[in-house]
Structure 1
C-alpha cells in the first residue's frame, strides 16, 4: 500500500471549528444535510435514510468516511508493537491482509475498535474511529517510541466506501484494473487504479453488504467521488449519509464505538470474544481479560426486537417483566430491511437467552421486547466486517 502524498489542503480547524473532508462540496452539491459529528461536518442524509439504506441493500451506496483516522507503524519491530496494542493476532497477517480487532486498556475495557492492514513486511496501517483519533494517536505514538516509526496519516488520507450488491459492477466501469478487484478476498486489499486515480482498495465495510473501502490521497478524493457517482448512478448508486450508515450496521449487528462499546465495556461481554486471542502472547489488557474469561459474565450485549408499539433508542433503560431496571439500550431504530424495530443492549446474563422477554422504557412507557438471534440481517454474499 503506497502512502498518499500530503496535499496542500489537509483539514485544519480551530478548537471550535468543525473540520471538513475534501469531499464536502460534493455533499452539498448532492443535497447532503450536514451535521456536526466527532468534530467534523458530515452528511446525515441526502435523499432520506430509508431510501439510502435500501439503495445499499438493493444496489449500492457511496460513503465518505474520510473522517476516520489512519495510523502507520514502520520498521522491523512494527508488527510486534501493533500486536502488543491489540487483542487479535496481527502476527497471522500476510502482506495484503487485514483484520478487525479491539484495542484495550490495562483494565481490559475497549479504547477503540480498529482494522489493521499489513501493508508491507514491516509496515502496518491501522484505521481508528474519528472520535478516538487523538486518543489512539497518543497510544500508538507512545508505544512506538524507541521501537519503530509512527506516522499519523489521517490528514493526508481520504477514505471512500462503496457498498452493496452492485459495488463491483460499478468498479468494473472504473477501468481495467478496477474491474479485477472482484477477485479480492474478504479482508484483503491491494493497490489499484480506480477511475485513473491511484488508490488502495480493501474488501471491507460496515454495512453487512459486500463492497470495498477505498483509500486515496486527500486532494484526489473529490474527483474519485464524482467518477463513482457518475458511473454508478445508472446502476442505482446513491450517496449515503451517517443516518443510513447507522441503520445498515445495526441490522448487521456491527458495534458502534460510543454506543455499544466504550471504555466501560470489555470485548467478551460485547460479543467480541472472537477478536481476543489470549494465546498469542502478551498484549495490553490480556491479564484483565483472562480474569474476565475465568468467571461467568455478569452481563452481555444482546440483539432484541421491540414487539410492542415503540422504538428503542440509545440510552433507554431496559427492565425485567417486574419493572426493575436491569440494563441499558445501546443502539436502536427501525430496521428498514427487516421491517421491525430492533436494538442492541446490555442485559444480565440470566436474561440473555434467545426468546427471553423484557421491557424497554420508552420515555416512561414500558414496551415489550424479546431477545433474538443476530445479525438481524445477513446478505447472501460478502463479508460482514467493521
Structure 2
C-alpha cells in the first residue's frame, strides 16, 4: 500500500517520509513540508491517543539553538518570557512578539546547558523566528544555529506513552525518563539512539517528544512503533493532532494567534513577564514590552472563548459568531478553530467574541453556511485528561 500524495514538488521531505509512504499515509503539503495527514481514519487516530497512544512525526518543526555566555540575557530581550530563570533540564512555553505586541510565533524553549538553549518554532514561522532572533541577539555575546534540517522530532502521546517510551529506553536512563516532570527533559538513549527526551506535547495527554538526529530517525520510529503495538500505539497524522489540540484548548498559530493578536487577547497574558530584570536588577526592555504593558492594563476588545455546539453541524475557522439564532442577529465574533469532538460527541470551537458575550453559559449562534447553529460559551479547555 502506498501513500496518497497531495504535496508539491517544492515541499521538503521529512526524514520519516519513506516510513509514512510504507504505512499508506495520505500525504499533504503543510508549511512547506510533505507530511502525513492521516494513516487510517481521523477519528480512529484521535481516539487511540485518548485511550492508548499515538506516534507523530513533528520533524517539520524548527529547532534553533541559541548559545553563548549571554544566551539567556539575549533571549530575555528577544522573547516575552523570563529565560534567565529557566533551569537546565526544564522547558518553557513563550512567544516572540513584534514591537506592537502582535504574536510572531509561539515557542517552546528548552534550556540544554547554562549557555545553550533550544528554541522550537512552528514550521510555518521558522524563517521569521530565525531572522528575528538573529537580529535581536546581535548586541549580545550569543549566536544562533539553525539545527532544523538535522533534527527529527518524534512524539509519543497518550496514556500508554510512558510505558512505551520506557520499554525502548536504555536501562540506565529509564528511571530518569519515568521521573520526568511536565515541561522537563533529559538526555537518554532511546531505541539505541542518543536523544533528548522531553515530557511535552500538543494533545492534552501525557506524552513525550524525542529529539533525534535526522539520519537515525527512521530506526527510532520503527522501533517505537513495534514496541507499542501491544499497547495500542498507532501512527497519527496532522488531522488527529489538530482535533486533539482543539479539545485541549491549545492555540494554533494562524488561527488563535497571529500578528494582529497579543498574548493577552488569547488569554495567555501570563506568559508575558513584565517583572523580569537584568543582571543589574533593571527591568528588561524586551521587544514589545511597552505595547504589552499597555495592553495588560486595558480592557480587551475581544476575548477568546470556547463554544459548545448544541446541534450537529460544526463551526469552522472564519465562520461568524452571532448574538443569537434569530434572523438578522448581529455578528459578535469569529470562529478561529472548530470541529466535531470525537471525545465529547458534539461540535466544539474556539472563537474571539466581544467581552459582553464572553461569559460561560452565554447562548450564541454560528453562521454555518447560511444557517444559524446554536452554541453555548464554555470555559476552556473542553477536555482535561483523567489524573
Normalising to structure 1: TM-score of the pair? 0.93
Query: Paired residues, what number?
Result: 367
Secondary structure at 2:275 match in 1: helix
Structure 2 Cα separation of the partners of residues 179 and 170 of structure 1: 11
Quote the offset at 1:16 in angstroms: 5.7
Cα gap change, 1:177 to 1:131, in 2 (>3 Å) = farther
Structure 1 Cα separation of the partners of residues 344 and 92 of structure 2: 28
What corresponds to 2:363 in structure 1?
357
User: Would the aligned equivalents of 1:83 and 1:283 in 2 still touch at CA under 8 Å?
Assistant: yes
User: Deviations for 1:87-145, whole angstroms, at most 9, x for unmatched residues?
Assistant: 12112111111100111100001000000111101111100000001111101111232
1:69-218 matches, within 5 Å, as: 69-147=62-140, 148-174=142-168, 175-180=170-175, 181-218=177-214
Unaligned regions of 5+ residues in structure 2, if any? 1-7, 277-283
- 1:342 and 2:348 correspond: yes
Structure 1 Cα separation of the partners of residues 139 and 377 of structure 2: 49
User: Deviations for 1:297-321, whole angstroms, at most 9, x for unmatched residues?
Assistant: 1111101111133110011111112
Unaligned regions of 5+ residues in structure 1, if any? 1-14, 382-386
Structure 2 Cα separation of the partners of residues 214 and 83 of structure 1: 26
Secondary structure at 1:154 match in 2: coil
What corresponds to 1:53 in structure 2?
46
- 1:39 and 2:35 correspond: no
Secondary structure at 2:24 match in 1: coil
Structure 1 Cα separation of the partners of residues 230 and 286 of structure 2: 48
User: Would the aligned equivalents of 2:269 and 2:296 in 1 still touch at CA under 8 Å?
Assistant: no
Structure 2 Cα separation of the partners of residues 69 and 60 of structure 1: 24
Secondary structure at 1:92 match in 2: coil
- 4+ residue runs over 6 A deviation: none
Secondary structure at 2:204 match in 1: coil
What corresponds to 1:269 in structure 2?
265
User: Would the aligned equivalents of 2:63 and 2:148 in 1 still touch at CA under 8 Å?
Assistant: yes
In the alignment, which of 57, 66, 79 is matched to residue 59 of structure 2? 66
Quote the offset at 1:160 in angstroms: 0.5
In the alignment, which of 366, 380, 384 is matched to residue 378 of structure 1? 384
Structure 2 Cα separation of the partners of residues 122 and 90 of structure 1: 11
User: Would the aligned equivalents of 2:101 and 2:289 in 1 still touch at CA under 8 Å?
Assistant: yes
Quote the offset at 1:376 in angstroms: 0.6
What corresponds to 1:291 in structure 2?
294
- How large is the RMSD of aligned CA atoms in angstroms? 1.2
User: Deviations for 1:254-306, whole angstroms, at most 9, x for unmatched residues?
Assistant: 00000111101111010111211111132111110111111111111101111
Secondary structure at 2:149 match in 1: helix
Secondary structure at 1:318 match in 2: strand
Quote the offset at 1:146 in angstroms: 4.4
User: Would the aligned equivalents of 2:98 and 2:288 in 1 still touch at CA under 8 Å?
Assistant: yes
Structure 1 Cα separation of the partners of residues 139 and 262 of structure 2: 30
Structure 1 Cα separation of the partners of residues 356 and 179 of structure 2: 45
Secondary structure at 2:383 match in 1: coil
Structure with larger RCO (C-alpha < 8 A, sep 6+): 1
Normalising to structure 2: TM-score of the pair? 0.93
Structure 2 Cα separation of the partners of residues 363 and 190 of structure 1: 49
In the alignment, which of 313, 317, 322 is matched to residue 320 of structure 2? 317
